Structure 1
Amino acid sequence: MSFGSPNNPYGQPPQNPQQPYGYPQGQPGYPQAPQGQPGYPQAPQGVPPQQGYGYPQAPQGGYPGYPQQGGYGMQPTYANWGQRFLSRLLDTLLYAVPYAVVIAGSKSTPILSAIGFLALIALFVWQVIMEGKTGQTVGKKAVGIRTLKEDTGQPLGGGMAFVRQLAHILDGLPCYLGYLWPAWDAKRQCFADKVCGSIVIRTNP
């Protein structure tokens, strides 16, 4: 009687006599032996090898919800002297409109002069508030620059923006040297910026 006989009461012999007991054949997740090494189950064809034990691999692009390291330590793009000069020129031209009304009223009608003077004050207050809240006056917004705190990167606030306007007196005292200082300063700061701890950066570097 042979194992291949149909009368064999014990059934067919095992297909792989070297298959050890206790290991399901063809199941992924078990340790794989090199090709041709007896005594270990081989992974079935078409099934990708399972990842071994150890630390899980991070997905491509890093874990969601965590900032990437490349975003830290980057310096802002400071506004150059030409951009600062152009923004101040635009603001000066804006102030020139109510100032012209003041001059015209002083030669003709005192009421017109008073209206121009009130408009000049209102424009100054509005410019200070806007620079304190957004970092931009009308001229700075037109040029594309912004005044921020150097240590936090946030707008100055109305109070500090007003102090910065007063500190511009220091820029004009030594022959307007403070206004020229951003041309060669490493952080493009005038004297008022150094006193108030502010910087002027580009909004679109």
Structure 2
Amino acid sequence: MSFGSPNNPYGQPQNPQNPPSGYGQPQPGYGQPQQGQPGYGYPQQGQPGIPPQGYPQQPGGYPGYPQQPGYGAQPPYANWGQRFLGTIVDGLVFLVPYLLVILGRDTPALAVIGGLAIFAVAIWQLIMEGRTGQTLGKKALGIRLVRESDGQPLGIGMAFVRRLAHFLDSLACYLGWLWPLWDAKKQTFADKVCSSIVIRSQ
């Protein structure tokens, strides 16, 4: 057997113009992306919720509550005069039912109707204040009761707690009712306990 025998593949001379199959051909994965796989240097698909590198980040706000429309560095607090006049208007709403109670001294039916009307108006005012931040008086004066933390209405339950907390404002010669005159946030004692503020809505 000679080295030039056709039966010996190791002894055959190589033809540079007809190289073996696969000789000198680029292999997949070296400089070329394989089918179905992104190649090196191509944009990668990021994980859900995580933008890929090089893409602009979405502007984000404070990780707590969103800033309310119209709020700047300081909420537009309602002044003491607006709050006082709003309370007067709320009191006038009870005037007609109260007159029925007075007239009912001689007519018990009128007293019952007047008492039920006072109770119904009080509940309705509480619900409106808890859900929207406004009673009839606050709406007439363009002011609103909201949470200090996020500017949203207190809710019916906390609005009721705030009304109970008003007894603190009547202590010490009604000092709490006057406290908004010089307080930085225009709060009464009840507002401070319930973390509420009264702002201008217009």
What band does the TM-score fall into relative to the shorter chain? 0.5 to 0.7
Change (3 A) 1:167 1:111: same
Q: Percent identity?
A: 61
Partner of 1:85: 84
Q: Aligned pair count?
A: 143
Taking the TM superposition and a 5 Å limit, the aligned residue runs for 1:86-101 are 86-101=85-100
Report the equivalent of 2:73: 74
Moved over 6 A (4+): none
Matched to 1:100, the amino acid is L
> Structure 1, residues 69-95: CA drift from partner, whole Å, max 9, x if none?
9x8862111000000000001001111
DSSP 3-state at the match of 1:174: helix
Is structure 2 residue 200 aligned with structure 1 residue 197?
Answer: no
Amino acid at match of 2:149: D
Structure 1: which amino acid aligns with 2:127? I
Which letter does structure 1 place at the counterpart of 2:87? R
Distance in 1 (CA, whole Å) between partners of 2:111 and 2:138 is: 28
Aligned-partner Cα distance in 2 for 1:101–1:135 = 29
Unmatched segments (≥5 aa) in structure 2: 1-53, 63-68
Aligned to 1:133: 131
CA distance, structure 2, for counterparts of residue 97 and residue 73 of structure 1: 41
Q: What is the aligned partner in structure 1 of residue 143 from structure 2?
A: 145
Report SS of the residue matched to 2:145.
strand
Distance between the aligned counterparts of 2:61 and 2:129, measured in 1? 31
* Letter paired with 1:171: D
CA RMSD of aligned residues (A): 2.5
Aligned partners of 1:66 and 1:104: how far apart in 2?
A: 64
Shift of residue 67 of structure 1?
Answer: 7.8
Residues 1:73 and 1:145: Cα distance change in structure 2 (over 3 Å): closer
CA distance in 2 between counterparts of 1:123 and 1:193 reads: 23
For 1:177 and 1:80, locate their aligned partners in 2 and report how far apart those are by CA, in whole Å: 16
TM-score w.r.t. length of structure 2: 0.65
SS in 2 for 1:199: strand
* Amino acid of the structure 1 residue aligned with 2:134: Q
Q: Distance in 2 between matches of 1:66 and 1:142?
A: 38
Counterpart amino acid of residue 118 in structure 1: L
Distance (whole Å) between structure 2 residues aligned to residue 174 and residue 119 of structure 1: 32
Give the distance between the partners of 1:203 and 1:110, measured in 2 at CA: 42
Matched to 2:88, the amino acid is L
- 1:104 partnered with 2:112: no
- Which consecutive residues of structure 1, in runs of 5 or more, have no partner in the other structure? 1-54
Could you tell me the TM-score, scaled by structure 1's length?
0.64
After TM superposition, the structure 1 stretch with the greater mean CA deviation from structure 2, 164-173 or 182-191, is: 164-173
Instruction: Report SS of the residue matched to 1:175.
Output: helix
Deviation at 1:173, TM superposition (A): 2.2
Give 1:15's aligned residue: none
| Pair 73,93 (structure 1): closer, same or farther in 2 beyond 3 Å | closer
Q: How far apart are the structure 2 equivalents of 1:140 and 1:129?
A: 14
SS in 2 for 1:201: strand
Q: Match of 1:96, as an amino acid?
A: L
